[in-house]
Amino acid sequence: MVIAPEETAGPTDGVLLAAVRARLSLELDPSIANPFSTDPDRAATIRRAIVEALAEADQGGAADDALVNNIYDELIGLGPLQPLMEDRHTTDILVNRHDEIFIERDGILHRTNARFRDQAHLEQVIGKIIALVGREISIDNPVVK
C-alpha cells in the first residue's frame, strides 16, 4: 500500500519558492520566522504573507490551499516530511533516499508518495532538523547523536 500525504501538491518550483522566500525575508518580522516563536498568530501571519507573495509573483489568480501549504511546509516546516509528521497515526518516518520515504503506522511500514525534489533538497531538510535540535553536521562530523 502506498500512502499519499493529504494536501501535498508535489514539489514546489524552485524559482517560485526562492521568490516567496526572498519576499518573506524582507517583509516578515524576524521574530515571526523564528521556529521557536510563541506568537499565537505565527502560522496565519506567515500564510497571509505567502498568499501575498504568490499574488505579487502573478500566479494567475488566488493561490490554492495546497500550494500555500506546500510552500509553508518548505519554508517553515520540514518540506515533504511535514504532512507525515502531522499525521497522528504516523509512528516513524524512514527516508532511504530523496525519492523513497516510508512511514510506520500500527507497526507496519508503508511507502509514501512524499518526495524531495532531489538529493540537495533532502540534505537541506536534514540540515534544518539538525539545526533545530542544536547540533551540527559536516564532512568532519558526519554523524549526529
Where exactly does CATH 3.30.450.90 map onto the chain?
80-137
pLDDT tens for 29-88 read 888 877 778 899 999 999 999 998 888 876 555 678 888 998 999 888 899 999 999 999
- Asked whether the whole model's pTM tops 0.85, one would answer no
User: Is 144 strand, coil or helix?
Assistant: coil
> Do the beta carbons of residue 78 and residue 90 sit within 8 Å?
no
Please state, in angstroms and rounded to a whole number, the distance separating the CA atoms of residues 9 and 68.
Answer: 9
Please give the CATH topology (third level) of the domain spanning 80-137: Beta-Lactamase (3.30.450)
Q: Which residues, 6 or more positions from 3, have their beta carbon under 8 angstroms from its beta carbon?
A: 103, 105, 110, 111, 112, 113
pLDDT tens for 81-137 read 999 999 999 999 999 999 999 999 989 999 999 999 999 999 999 998 998 888 888
> Do the beta carbons of residue 65 and residue 72 sit within 8 Å?
no
Please state, in angstroms and rounded to a whole number, the distance separating the CA atoms of residues 30 and 39.
Answer: 12
